Amino acid sequence: MKKARLMIDRYFVTGEVDKRIYGSFIEHLGRAVYQGIYQPKSPFADEQGFRKDVIGLVRELGVPVVRYPGGNFVSGYHWEDGVGPKENRPARLDLAWRVIESNQFGLNEFMDWARKAGTAPMMAVNLGTRGPEDAKNLVEYCNIPKGSLYSDLRRSHGYQEPHNIKLWCLGNEMDGPWQMGHKTAAEYGRIAAEAGRIMRMVDPDIELVACGSSGLTMDTFGYWEDQVLSECYDQVDYLSLHQYYGNREDNSADFLGSTASMDRFIRSVVAICDSVRAKKRKSKKICLSFDEWNVWYHSNEEDKKIPAWTSAPHQLEDVYNFEDALLVAGMMITLLRHADRVKIACLAQLVNVIAPIMTSDEGAWKQTIYYPFALISRYGRGQVLDTLVDAPRYECSHGDVSCLDAVFVMDEEEGLTLFAVNKDLAEDMELTCDLRQFPGFRVKEHFVLAHPDLKAVNTREHPDTVAPRAGTGANIADGRLTAVLGAKSFHVIRLEKAGCAPKHA
């Protein structure tokens, strides 16, 4: 059995967890909106056409913020098409995904849905085919109470009170040649600066996210971040990162090692942000918004067969397996390990499209990746402790990587939660950690996500094939935590001080 050791100090804190790292994403893409969150003719729909079964699963998932309406879609989107009487809304060609957009679901419907789902909006503006003027108009429509052209337009649509959207994305993936309105770094930096400046003239209290690179492998990575921030540093609060991983070569060890690449991506972007900060002699620190991340590759070949100009096709509908859930857990652990700088993150996406939740006319169910997200979102609140990992390592395409992804989070009541993934595909791992700084602690709960088959999936007929179960073998004796982590498994070990009363007792 392999052995690993974790080292923590209660006073060595990486950072406070911003709950918005447990965000997600709804784009007008495939069946994410239509037949996903919105399906008026479904027996599961409420009076507004929102699927109640999906709302229940989203609430259970614990998603505090949802990015909308894109994604590639936003770079050609006219938000005005999706407001006002539905019979007057035009159907448009969506060039991003080569489909027809009916615009029967738009901004106001999204805000109504978000309230019911217990989440908040992260709104994106079109800086591809449009620009600062339209971004300003959208902020006015959403955030000004009354008395102006666009605020009164909103009121005429039945929304007397402003939406008060406070988190905004300045476009999407503008470094990508696939993007409508693709720009050079200097071009985008200037338009982001001007859009942000004008949007803040309307509402000074909004937060703004500038587009970083669409992935670590982009040819312009590094140069893009430096040039963009050189133009818009004063106007923005966050810089975005996007990254997807896939096991296209069916090399599971390499696939699970992707967290090392993700960690390197984050560290590199932080370094560039701080370099620009130093050059500009600024006190303000730019934090990160990892607002697209997930596993995405299963559906690639099927998506090539979809005819152009259909509506809400079965597009990007990855069926996730157990090893995907392990990587999602590892990616979330990586986000937590950078809690000092990663303040927003969005699992892309939420329903049907590369998503933890799937729907059909018969109901909704949880994909394998639903469970690590829900567990970490529920219990990963508080302060992230600087967690040193001493574990066996292996070589893969991502370099020399650890067999163990792990992090401790200390909550406000000074309970401790350990999240850990044993990436070894064959051997169990004995884990130890000195907890003498936490005297009198005991194991409160232990959840395990494990399955003998890495390719096991959940379906509507068999939704619990891969699901958490109670774990065994974790205990504390003489101030020392020991636990056995089975080969290829994800663990949540919750610790509490013996004899502590419930918070509201």
From its phi and psi, is residue 325 left (phi > 0), alpha (psi between -120 and 50) or beta? alpha
Residue 445 has which token pair?
């709960």
> At residue 360, what is the residue type?
S
DSSP letters of 166-207?
A: -EEEE-S-TT-TTSTT---HHHHHHHHHHHHHHHHHH-TT-E
SS3 label, residue 329 = helix
- CA dihedral of residues 30, 33, 35, 40 (deg, nearest 10): -150
d(CA 247, CA 366): 21
Neighbours of 116 (CB within 10 A): 16
Closest-CA residue to 211 (of 59, 327, 322, 71): 71
From its phi and psi, is residue 316 left (phi > 0), alpha (psi between -120 and 50) or beta? left
Q: Which of 292, 317, 323, 496 is catalytic?
A: 292
d(CA 487, CA 489): 6
Find the radius of gyration of the CA atoms of the chain: 23
DSSP letters of 233-267?
A: GGG-SEEEEEEEE--TT--HHHHHTHHHHHHHHHH
For this structure, is 27 an active site residue? no
Phi and psi at residue 345, in whole multiples of 5°? -155, 145
Q: Which residues pair with 389 in a beta bridge?
A: 6
For residue 115, give every residue at least 6 positions away whose Cβ sits within 8 Å of its Cβ, in sequence order, or none. Answer: none
Q: Which of 173, 194, 231, 317 is catalytic?
A: 173
Q: Which residues pair with 359 in a beta bridge?
A: 364
d(CA 65, CA 163): 14
For this structure, is 47 an active site residue? no
Residues recognised as catalytic: 173, 292
